[in-house]
Amino acid sequence: MTKSEKIEYRPVSVREALTEMKDLSEIMIDLAYSAALFNSRELAEEVLELEKRVDSLAYILDMNAMLAARDAEDAESLIGVTTVAAATDKISDAAADIATIVLKEVGIHPIVREAFEKVEEQLARAEVKPDSVFINKRVGDLELAAKIGVDIIAIRRGKEWIINPSEDETIVEGDVLIARGAPLGVDELKGLAEGKIKEME
Amino acid sequence: MTKSEKIEYRPVSVREALTEMKDLSEIMIDLAYSAALFNSRELAEEVLELEKRVDSLAYILDMNAMLAARDAEDAESLIGVTTVAAATDKISDAAADIATIVLKEVGIHPIVREAFEKVEEQLARAEVKPDSVFINKRVGDLELAAKIGVDIIAIRRGKEWIINPSEDETIVEGDVLIARGAPLGVDELKGLAEGKIKEME
């Protein structure tokens, strides 16, 4: 957490950066609430990983917005963009605050759990192990939504995040799947990813 | 905005306050994004109204948490609760930042609109006018989800907010309905609330 990470310069446009920041911040809130609900260190750690990504996107976005402003009118209109980006950054900070509480191991107060319990669909994290049936399958071919009522909303592959993966995305060993769905479906997804379940019912 | 409002002391428990703050902050984010997408002053103003409510809840929650802490252990476990509450407050601030940009009338930059466009379901605001068919109907009897694919997620009645109204809630003249649904259904809801449409198709 304390070691400073070099921010990779990638040619990300202001538009792409903002869209990704918005999507990530929404996922982070849901993940943070699920982390608190289940007192899950794993989910909390994913939130903190995502926060690093949002922070670098915020940096890239501000830099590109400055480079793009050629006159006062440009600058005024771009301030709207950087303000919205700063708002998504604030949301991701809030999610990280919740994740940090989970990692502190003081235990989640029952009041917090009760406030978050009403969420019908929950987020879960599943790591794809060597003998999982998911390996080398395309996301679309798994038909997870139809078969077990679960959506893969993000895949973390090492340090890379694939948000809202397309149907063509191929799952590889070691992928961390972030999924949303009803509790039963989510449990089945975990079993399948970890190789404990070999077939979908 | 600048006039200071007296915070009404209502007997709201820490649990109720936290649950309401969480629910409100989520609605505020969705409302703020819709406000930016449609450049809607009305939606932006609802966000700022909700922020006042979240601020008073934050105040009440902190006060009650302090009163509840009798020893160091209590205090430590309640810090988890106040941190989560502060996080929902931060999220509501972020929503208010976006709403403020919308109200500044500098115009929403196309990049912001594009980032928010992917949202399939949008939030809308509909005011119940004197000749609306909704008046004196129970929310459950309208069967809005089944008939037009729209959910009423909140009702503002003057300064009071009813979040996730129950089926038994009766709609009265002047209610402001905050609804979520596909664009076509949302348009129909507005027509019905404003008395321009007299029957559901």
Query: How much is the ipTM here?
Result: 0.78
B18, B91 in Cβ contact below 8 A? no
Mean pLDDT of B160-188: 90
Q: What is the CATH number of domain A14-112?
A: 1.20.58.220
Decide if A14-112 and A120-193 have a common fold.
no
3-state secondary structure of B2: coil
Mean pLDDT of B77-96: 92
How confident is the model at residue A10, as a pLDDT? 56
A60 in contact with B, Cβ within 8 Å? no
Element (H, E) at B153: strand B150-157
What's the rounded Cα separation, in Å, for the pair A101 and A33? 11
Cβ–Cβ gap A106/B77 under 8 Å: yes
> Amino acid identity of A194?
E
Contact residues, chain B, for A83 at CB < 8 Å: 97-98, 101
**Residue A58: phi, psi to the nearest 5?**
-60, -40
What's the rounded Cα separation, in Å, for the pair B66 and B196? 51
How confident is the model at residue A116, as a pLDDT? 77
How confident is the model at residue B135, as a pLDDT? 96
How confident is the model at residue B12, as a pLDDT? 77
A152, A165 in Cβ contact below 8 A? yes
Task: Map out the domains of chain B as residue ranges.
Answer: 14-112, 120-193
| B21-57 pLDDT, tens digit each | 998 998 899 889 888 888 889 889 999 999 999 999 9
Using CA coordinates, name the residue in chain B closest to A30: B26
User: CB contacts < 8 Å between A and B, how many?
Assistant: 107
Q: What top-level class would CATH report for the domain B120-193?
A: alpha beta
Mean pLDDT of B170-194: 92
DSSP secondary structure code for residue B170 in this structure: B
Cβ–Cβ gap B88/A94 under 8 Å: yes
How confident is the model at residue B163, as a pLDDT? 82
What's the rounded Cα separation, in Å, for the pair A35 and A176? 16
Model confidence at B4: pLDDT above 60: no
> Amino acid identity of A195?
G
**Residue A108: phi, psi to the nearest 5?**
-85, 125
| B96-142 pLDDT, tens digit each | 999 999 998 677 788 888 877 766 567 888 999 999 999 999 999 99
CA distances from A52 to A4, A5, A112, A160, B99 (A): 10, 9, 25, 11, 26
Number of continuous H segments (helices) and E segments (strands) in chain A:
7, 4
CA distances from A170 to A122, A127, A141, A155, B79 (A): 24, 14, 10, 10, 43
Tens digit of pLDDT at every position of chain A (201 positions): 334 444 444 567 888 899 899 989 988 998 898 888 888 898 899 999 999 999 999 999 999 888 888 888 888 878 889 999 999 999 999 999 999 999 986 777 888 888 777 665 678 889 999 999 999 999 999 999 889 989 998 899 988 888 889 999 999 999 999 998 888 888 999 999 999 998 876
Helices B14-38 & B72-103 angle (0-180, nearest 10): 20
Contact residues, chain A, for B14 at CB < 8 Å: 111
CA atoms within 13 Å, Cβ hemisphere of A40:
19
3-state secondary structure of A150: strand
Best to test chain B binding among A111, A113, A151, A164 (most B CBs inside 10 Å): A111
For CA atoms B63, B65, B68, B70, the dihedral sign is negative
How confident is the model at residue A89, as a pLDDT? 96
The residues facing B155 across adjacent strands are B162, B177
Contact residues, chain A, for B83 at CB < 8 Å: 97-98, 101
DSSP line for B113-148 = HHHHHT-SSEEEEEE--TT-TTTT-BHHHH-HHHHH
How confident is the model at residue A198, as a pLDDT? 87
